[in-house]
Structure 1
Amino acid sequence: MLPSHRSHAHVNTPIQRRWLASGDLNGFLGLVVDNLSILAFLASALTIIFKFPADVVFLRMFPGTALGVLLGNLAYTVMARRLARRTGRDDVTAMPLGLDAPTSIGMALLVLGPAFLGFKQSGMDEHAAAIATWQLGMAALVVMGVLKFVLSFFGAMVQRHVPRAGLLGSIAGIALVLMGFLPLVEILKVPVVGFAGLGVVLYALVARGRLPFGLPGVLVAFIVGALLYYVLGPLGWLGTGYHAPAAWQWRFALPLPTLQWIHGLAYTVPYLPLILPFGLLMVVGGINVTESARAAGDDYATRDILLVEALATLVAGFCGGVAQTTPYIGQPSYKAMGARSGYTLLTGVVIGLGGVLGYLSNLIELVPLSVLAPILVFVAIGITVQAFEATPMRYAAAVVFSFFPAIARMLTIKLSDPTYVSPEHFAGLFDSSAHGISELAVITVLGNGFIITAMIWASFVVALIDGRTARAAWIVLLGGVLSLFGVIHSAELAGGVYLPWLLEPASRQIVWQFAGAYLALAVVLLLLSLQGRSSARVAP
């Protein structure tokens, strides 16, 4: 067990500290592959699923995004060396930082991709739509960065008022259906490749099986999947699942500050119910990972960790980035493998220079989605499991209840895919109603603003479990107010916010029905709270 404290006699003792320890190589491989897989899925989702122009992704989005990873990791490296110098210890492990998987995938599938299709449907040509989408992504990152910067000073207050079941349940819902199910579909599109890689990931990272030479499981899964793809593919054994790799090309682009994000601010309004929770989740996540590192023996200041994360996100947004950074939960795992501060330095330099020089884009084009997807499925499993492990068992029902809005959002993504159904046909189904609100409209409205919905649903169930029925009623009433303005349960297909009295009659009717439902439930709960806690609790 690693010691968490040293005697005062050792504080400020001059000891020789190497920039690279023996465990830094394994730490570097794990952290760089994590970041590479997220960048690859972001690029693949945009270019393959939404037919987004690759040059805009690689020359405009990637450099700024990679810069955020570089700056954040450099700052965490300096913080680790300062902590080691201050405590006189040589076993301090830097906080790992990288792109946040759930929100990066959420940005691709829920914000950037749909926005690109919407801009094209409005009459923009492909290039103009891509630039507008990039501006939206930059502005979204700046909004999240500002929110994280402000909340970094009030992190403890956020934790007190939003129960852990609501925070972890909402992000677990994203993980389960967006990071887990959708990549699983990609795996089974080329099952010979994807299933083998998934098996390696489950063996090494879930079952904790030992791999030859102690190699990281993620790296071995990459190698196995790539070998199967590039050996069996040219032989025709993968059917239509194989595509020859694009020619190697250098894409040089400096991540220079730009004011393009200002043009995207107006575009962010319909997506604020997604963007703001993305930022909130990272603040709470940053607090949790700092506590995790403290338990492992490295006492970092929570506010410093959060500020670095917020500033890295802001700089990335100012320079063209579209995905936010976050400290990773696995700091104790990197510590256990012997990593110190060199692995974050190496990761920042490799990812940062890769975004500038363009070799990241070439690596990503060489790695198909079926090879990347198993890693994302594992991350989804880990996040979902954590939601239950880090939450008291009595709140398990609240966590499960918070999954339903995310499932609805995933169904909406597929049901509204223009590949299968025209936007006009989808809108017609949305407006049709035989008895009550149509089924498709219910799924769409439930999925709009699903992260905040999940927080509210889990929070009011937690309050009920704790016997605080009146508090549950006020949480439900808050949900009703948010539903009136489209923050949750938006009656617009795109999920935008609005003033309800300006809507079309059919949409306005849906708004009143959902707001009325929350009001009715709040009244019922307030009446039940009058019984008192003791009489309200009966044996099942």
Structure 2
Amino acid sequence: MTTTAHPRRIVAGDVNGLFGLVVDNLSILAFVATALVGFFGFPAEVLFTHMFPGSALGVLVGNLIYTRMARSLARRTGRDDVTAMPLGLDAPTSIGMALLVLGPAFVKFKQGGMDEHAAAIATWHLGMAALVVMGVLKFVLSFFGDAVQRAVPRAGLLGSIAGIALVLMGFFPLVEILRHPIVGLAGLGIVFYALIARGRLPGNLPGVLVAIVVGAALYYGLGAAGLGAPGFHAPAAPTWRFALPWPNLGFVDGLPLVVPYLPLVLPFGLLMVIGGINVTESARAAGDDYSTRDILLTEAFSTLVAGVCGGVVQTTPYIGQPAYKAMGARTAYTWLTGVVIGLGGVFGYLSNLIELLPLPVLAPILVYVAITITTQAFEATPQRHYAAVVFAFFPAVARMVAIKLGDPGVVPPDRFAELFARADHGLPELATIVVLGNGFIITSMIWAGYAAALIDGRLPRAAVFLAAGGVLTLFGLIHSVDPNGALYLPWNLSGLGATLAGQFAAAYGVLALLTLALTPFNRETKG
């Protein structure tokens, strides 16, 4: 530690940090774009000129504040080795927003009779409203973050997000990799070698950069020669796009539209609060003692700014602050990243880069992130709770199956409705899968919380998780009996819906009572 700090100086490590943080954000934006445009047919111009500028602005604002916090810490401590907290777009919830909220909402609006442009604008407003809701939630919870962390065990928090990573962030991109196997597997191999096996590349080049360059060269080279997989598209000419992310009231129009998606949106915000607490502790362990509340408030503020200005992807502090410190990054790499991403959203060069990089080129990075998140769920959880983490995966698997079966190209709507209502022995199989997948993030938290409490011998606590599950089921926050996952009042249900909701809610109640009844015997065993 030195006695004279120079927090404004740009050092070589800041350049390394800049590249890594920009690529992280670019990869997430690229997947969101590919998912919405490629999977759901969302208009690219609305995405790039309405959604991306506000999302990028959130990255700029948050990183500028974190830079100021780091420089303030450096001045107070007299140190020149303080590393700023990195902030960017959150990968799991961004992918969840694209695949579970924005894309399905766009399809639903079109099926309801809107033309494509009107449906896109309604989806944009819904995304803005979702971001504002998450920002408000994060703002409130920033004052109670420690209490939230104590209430839900790590197995529930990390298991639920690992479920998203494994089946949505990992499996879907893996399918895209294998649709262009030469390109995808080459990139995946480089990512595995450099980032998982920690192998050295020529010139110590970053693994992500090499994987993107090799993948793009193979994609365009093989495609031009007629040797690539079907579906090759030549690179499009760059399109000039200029869009200022002005504040607007589109989120007000989107508030009624976001209600059916609250079972997904609210856990997204909650997870980021817990993540913010964890990354602050990680930075503290690395030697940089930031205020947890300030880190969380900044995250909430930047998310709110993004939402009000048209963004649809929330920001979060990244877990890799110690890694950026190890590579020599200090306080400049965050504001540099903010400027590159923020101006890229305004002047359109981010969209140009994304249009040049097809999903098979970027998918290996997403698979790596999915593997890392899933691995961390076990590494950061006590070994005795591993079963609880695995238990949290199953609702996410059900959601993945429901997404595929709900695709009209896979199962026609009339056939889907028939299967949803067909009962042979027990409840209809397809209905059970869909109901299990609806609200799966909260379900995963409840299931893992119940299992972890049971493993720890805290049976009354386990019963509380079950009781909460029963109550949430009655209102559709989890196990919504609406195929689209909408919320409802239990007394408005009838027919199959009432049967499904009643059976699931009663199941939680019966298991809660059974768990409480076993409490005296468990005490005798522990004694």
TM-score bracket, normalised by the shorter chain, equals over 0.9
1:152-301 pair list within 5 angstroms? 152-301=142-291
1:77 paired to 2:67 = yes
| Local SS of the residue matching 1:52 | coil
Report the alpha carbon displacement of residue 296 of structure 1 after superposing the two structures with TM: 0.5
- The whole-number CA distance in structure 2 between the counterparts of 1:480 and 1:358 is 48
Deviates more, 1:425-434 or 1:452-461: 425-434
Indicate how the Cα distance of structure 1 residues 434 and 536 shifts in structure 2: closer, same or farther if over 3 A, else same. farther
Report the alpha carbon displacement of residue 240 of structure 1 after superposing the two structures with TM: 1.1
Indicate how the Cα distance of structure 1 residues 190 and 241 shifts in structure 2: closer, same or farther if over 3 A, else same. farther
Query: Aligned partner of 2:167: which letter?
Result: V
1:449 paired to 2:444 = no
Report the alpha carbon displacement of residue 220 of structure 1 after superposing the two structures with TM: 1.2
1:99-498 pair list within 5 angstroms? 99-498=89-488
Query: Aligned partner of 2:55: which letter?
Result: T
CA contact (8 A) 2:131 2:311 kept: yes
Report the alpha carbon displacement of residue 79 of structure 1 after superposing the two structures with TM: 1.0
Deviates more, 1:20-29 or 1:60-69: 20-29
Query: Aligned partner of 1:250: which letter?
Result: W
- The whole-number CA distance in structure 1 between the counterparts of 2:135 and 2:405 is 32
- The whole-number CA distance in structure 2 between the counterparts of 1:28 and 1:526 is 53
| Local SS of the residue matching 1:43 | helix
Query: Aligned partner of 1:397: which letter?
Result: A
CA contact (8 A) 2:457 2:522 kept: no
- The whole-number CA distance in structure 2 between the counterparts of 1:46 and 1:190 is 19
- The whole-number CA distance in structure 1 between the counterparts of 2:74 and 2:365 is 33
Report the alpha carbon displacement of residue 418 of structure 1 after superposing the two structures with TM: 1.8
Report the alpha carbon displacement of residue 148 of structure 1 after superposing the two structures with TM: 0.2
- 1:127-167 Cα shifts (integer Å, max 9, x gaps): 11111000000000000000000000000100111101100
- The whole-number CA distance in structure 2 between the counterparts of 1:280 and 1:300 is 20
- The whole-number CA distance in structure 2 between the counterparts of 1:426 and 1:95 is 47
Query: Aligned partner of 1:62: which letter?
Result: F
Report the alpha carbon displacement of residue 475 of structure 1 after superposing the two structures with TM: 1.2
Stretches of 4+ moved more than 6 A in 1? none
- 1:185-222 Cα shifts (integer Å, max 9, x gaps): 11111011011111111111111111122221111111
- 1:375-426 Cα shifts (integer Å, max 9, x gaps): 0001001100000000110000000000000000011111101222222321
Q: What residue in structure 1 maps to residue 88 of structure 2?
A: 98
| Local SS of the residue matching 2:63 | helix
CA contact (8 A) 2:8 2:71 kept: no
CA contact (8 A) 1:30 1:219 kept: no
Report the alpha carbon displacement of residue 241 of structure 1 after superposing the two structures with TM: 3.6
Deviates more, 1:33-42 or 1:516-525: 516-525
Report the alpha carbon displacement of residue 233 of structure 1 after superposing the two structures with TM: 1.1
Report the alpha carbon displacement of residue 532 of structure 1 after superposing the two structures with TM: 4.1
Alignment equivalent of 2:33, drawn from 30, 43, 46: 43
How many residues get paired?
A: 527
| Local SS of the residue matching 2:430 | helix
Report the alpha carbon displacement of residue 432 of structure 1 after superposing the two structures with TM: 1.6
| Local SS of the residue matching 2:88 | strand
CA contact (8 A) 2:4 2:80 kept: no
- Structure 1 unaligned segments of length 5 or more: list them: 1-5
Q: What residue in structure 2 maps to residue 68 of structure 1?
A: 58
CA contact (8 A) 1:61 1:320 kept: yes
Report the alpha carbon displacement of residue 43 of structure 1 after superposing the two structures with TM: 0.6
| Local SS of the residue matching 1:240 | coil
- The whole-number CA distance in structure 1 between the counterparts of 2:198 and 2:253 is 48
- The whole-number CA distance in structure 2 between the counterparts of 1:274 and 1:31 is 27
Report the alpha carbon displacement of residue 503 of structure 1 after superposing the two structures with TM: 2.0
CA contact (8 A) 1:427 1:493 kept: no
Report the alpha carbon displacement of residue 521 of structure 1 after superposing the two structures with TM: 0.7
Query: Aligned partner of 2:112: which letter?
Result: S
Query: Aligned partner of 2:458: which letter?
Result: R
- The whole-number CA distance in structure 1 between the counterparts of 2:115 and 2:476 is 29
| Local SS of the residue matching 1:326 | strand
CA contact (8 A) 2:280 2:295 kept: yes
Query: Aligned partner of 1:246: which letter?
Result: A
- The whole-number CA distance in structure 2 between the counterparts of 1:16 and 1:304 is 23
CA contact (8 A) 2:32 2:98 kept: yes
Deviates more, 1:167-176 or 1:73-82: 73-82
- 1:15-53 Cα shifts (integer Å, max 9, x gaps): 444531111111111110010000000011000100001
| Local SS of the residue matching 2:518 | helix
| Local SS of the residue matching 1:233 | helix
- The whole-number CA distance in structure 1 between the counterparts of 2:141 and 2:164 is 22
Query: Aligned partner of 1:127: which letter?
Result: H
- The whole-number CA distance in structure 1 between the counterparts of 2:64 and 2:482 is 43
- TM-score, reference length from structure 2: 0.98
Q: Percent identity?
A: 71
Deviates more, 1:369-378 or 1:503-512: 503-512
Query: Aligned partner of 1:177: which letter?
Result: V
Report the alpha carbon displacement of residue 341 of structure 1 after superposing the two structures with TM: 1.4
- The whole-number CA distance in structure 2 between the counterparts of 1:406 and 1:167 is 13
- The whole-number CA distance in structure 2 between the counterparts of 1:355 and 1:162 is 36
- 1:289-326 Cα shifts (integer Å, max 9, x gaps): 00000100111111111011000000000000000000
- Structure 2 unaligned segments of length 5 or more: list them: none
Q: What residue in structure 2 maps to residue 3 of structure 1?
A: none
- The whole-number CA distance in structure 2 between the counterparts of 1:533 and 1:255 is 59
Over the aligned positions, Cα root-mean-square deviation in angstroms equals 1.1
CA contact (8 A) 2:95 2:169 kept: yes
CA contact (8 A) 1:102 1:174 kept: yes
